[in-house]
């Protein structure tokens, strides 16, 4: 059971995960079942069909709910499935205000799919709470932000935006994928809903996709449970198990990601100049003080400018330890090229507006020995 007086690392290991009452097994079993035997018509042990509930997924949901400090959590087959489920809270005619440099897949879902269902979206620089206030209309139902943003690492003041939203009767959802609940807890800062691509730091081992919505009101629990049941985009028992296993080490992993991130950012700033490195942990970052205040650390996501596509490709093909790959948040260092990978769908004009150049690279610093990571970057950079 959740005991909010216990520390984060303790809750990450224990919440939702009592030793198995049948055998004493310390890990929650992977319940591979689609259905459950019923004792009589209308009489069951709390489970009827696995699209609705599965004990492995239930354990995970209780765990993630505790870590984010919400009142409910519902897991989906991917981060995108979670955002899609979030948007089913809305009806045709409703309007959403969104951070202008969100994950490329989020704006693609909004602009290429959900607009056809009568929803409309406005993108604003949410680092400016006044810009959020100005974009809210009578038909606005949700403000969806990502902080720090992908890939420019702009930091939004969650408390300030939550105040703006609540003054206007609008809910605030925060994509907390880049920091994980260990480094940032948006609900404590006033957010109504937290969303994650659990594929990233929560899983932490690059071996499974997933998404979660953590709610704070009875209506959230009701809606998201109903969406799981109606649309079926749920997380499988096996992936739920992988995620439970990953989250057990979240606290120690995030400490090391954060420590390694700081070292790599300082190396890059020395090598390229601070103006070419985007990381909230650098004193030169425009929202450094805010990041210090609202985050427990700065994380390990860093973007840096190499000047041209040619220079970026020379660097990328010279890497020996770090992988050139999409995604982030794994124990291994991953480096991506936003212009052709995560933000290809945004288009050249959209990227120019956000400052995503062809020479920009994004690194998700892993938890290898940091000297080895820096040595690899150095040899690829000076090739």
Task: Compare residues 178 and 304 and give the one whose CB is closer to ligand PLP.
Answer: 178
Candidate ranges 43-51, 117-125, 197-205, 332-340; the one touching ligand PLP (CB under 6 A): 197-205
Q: What is the per-residue DSSP string for 12-24?
A: HHHTT-PPPTTT-
Please count the other Cβ atoms lying within 10 Å of the Cβ belonging to residue 31: 19
Q: What count of Cα atoms within 13 Å lies in the side-chain half-sphere of residue 49? A: 7
Cα 322 from Cα 315, distance rounded (Å): 11
Which of 55, 186 has the CB closer to ligand PLP?
186
Using rule CB under 6 A, residue 209 touches ligand PLP? yes
User: Does the annotation count 175 as an active-site position?
Assistant: yes
Asked whether 181 and 66 are in contact (CB, 8 A), the reply is: no
Of 140, 184, 199, 206, the residue at the interface with ligand PLP (CB under 6 A) is 199
Q: Which of 146, 192, 239, 305 binds ligand PLP (CB under 6 A)?
A: 146
- Stretch in the footprint of ligand PLP (CB under 6 A) among 47-55, 135-143, 195-203, 347-355: 195-203
> CB of 64 within 8 A of CB of 75?
yes
Question: Which entry of 15, 100, 157, 175 is annotated as an active-site residue?
Answer: 175
Q: How far apart are CA 329 and CA 332, in angstroms?
A: 8
- Decide: 138 and 168 in contact? Cβ < 8 Å: no
Extract the runs of DSSP E, i.e. beta strands, from the chain: 72-76, 95-99, 120-124, 140-146, 171-175, 193-197, 211-215, 277-278, 301-305, 323-324, 334-336, 360-364
Q: How many residues bind ligand PLP (CB under 6 A)?
A: 16
Please identify which of the residues 36, 51, 94, 108 carries the catalytic annotation: 51
Q: Is 376 in the site for ligand PLP (CB under 6 A)?
A: no
Residue 105 engages ligand PLP in binding (rule: CB under 6 A): yes
| Nearer of residues 146 and 305 to ligand PLP, judged by Cβ | 146
Active-site residue (options: 11, 185, 200, 351): 200
| Range 241-280, binding ligand PLP (CB under 6 A) | none
- Helix pair 55-68, 237-247: axis angle to 10 deg: 40
Enter the tokens of residue 275.
Answer: 């103006």
Catalytic residue flag (residue 43): no
Binding letters toward ligand PLP, positions 62-81, x by CB under 6 A: ----------------xxx-
Is 225 a catalytic site residue? no
CA distances from 200 to 22, 176, 178, 291, 326 (A): 33, 10, 8, 20, 11
Nearest residue to the partner ligand PLP, using Cβ: 79
When binding is defined by CB under 6 A, the residue of 56, 173, 177, 333 that contacts ligand PLP is: 177
Catalytic entry in 11, 31, 58, 103: 103
271 is catalytic: no
**Would you name the residues annotated as active-site residues?**
51, 103, 175, 200
The footprint of ligand PLP (CB under 6 A) covers 78-80, 103, 105-106, 146, 150, 175, 177-178, 197, 199-200, 209, 211
């Amino acid at each position: 059971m959740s005991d909010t007086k216990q520390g984060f690392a303790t809750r990450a290991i224990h919440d939702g995960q009592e030793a198995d009452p049948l055998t004493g097994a310390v890990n929650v079993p992977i319940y591979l079942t689609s259905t459950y035997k019923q004792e009589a018509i209308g009489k069951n042990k709390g489970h009827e069909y696995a699209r609705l509930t599965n004990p492995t997924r239930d354990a995970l949901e209780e765990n993630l709910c505790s870590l984010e400090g919400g009142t409910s959590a519902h897991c989906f087959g991917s981060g995108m499935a979670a955002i899609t489920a979030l948007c089913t809270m809305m009806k045709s005619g409703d309007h959403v205000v969104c951070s202008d440099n969100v994950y490329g897949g989020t704006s693609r879902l909004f602009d290429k799919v959900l607009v056809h269902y009568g929803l409309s979206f406005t993108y604003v620089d949410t680092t400016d709470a006044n810009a959020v206030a100005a974009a809210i209309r009578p038909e606005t139902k949700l403000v969806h932000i990502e902080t720090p943003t992908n890939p420019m690492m702009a930091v939004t003041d969650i408390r300030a935006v939550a105040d703006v939203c609540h003054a206007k009767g609008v809910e605030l959802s925060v994509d907390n994928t880049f920091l994980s609940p260990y480094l940032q807890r948006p609900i404590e800062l006033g957010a109504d809903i937290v969303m994650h691509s659990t594929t990233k730091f929560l899983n932490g081992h690059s071996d499974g996709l997933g998404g979660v919505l953590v709610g704070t009101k009875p209506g959230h629990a009701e809606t998201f449970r109903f969406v799981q049941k109606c649309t079926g985009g749920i997380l499988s028992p096996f992936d739920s198990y992988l995620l439970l296993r990953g989250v057990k080490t979240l606290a120690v992993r995030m400490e090391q990601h954060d420590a390694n991130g700081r070292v790599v950012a300082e190396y890059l700033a020395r090598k390229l100049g601070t103006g070419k490195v985007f990381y909230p942990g650098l004193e030169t970052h425009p929202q450094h003080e805010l990041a210090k205040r609202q985050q427990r650390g700065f994380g390990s996501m860093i973007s840096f400018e190499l000047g041209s596509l040619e220079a970026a490709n020379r660097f990328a093909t010279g890497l020996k330890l770090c992988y050139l790959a999409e995604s982030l948040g794994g124990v291994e260092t991953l480096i991506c090229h936003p212009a052709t990978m995560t933000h290809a769908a945004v288009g050249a004009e959209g990227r120019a507006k956000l400052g995503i150049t062809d020479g920009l690279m994004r690194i998700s610093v892993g938890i290898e020995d940091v000297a080895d990571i820096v040595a690899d970057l150095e040899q690829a950079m000076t090739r």
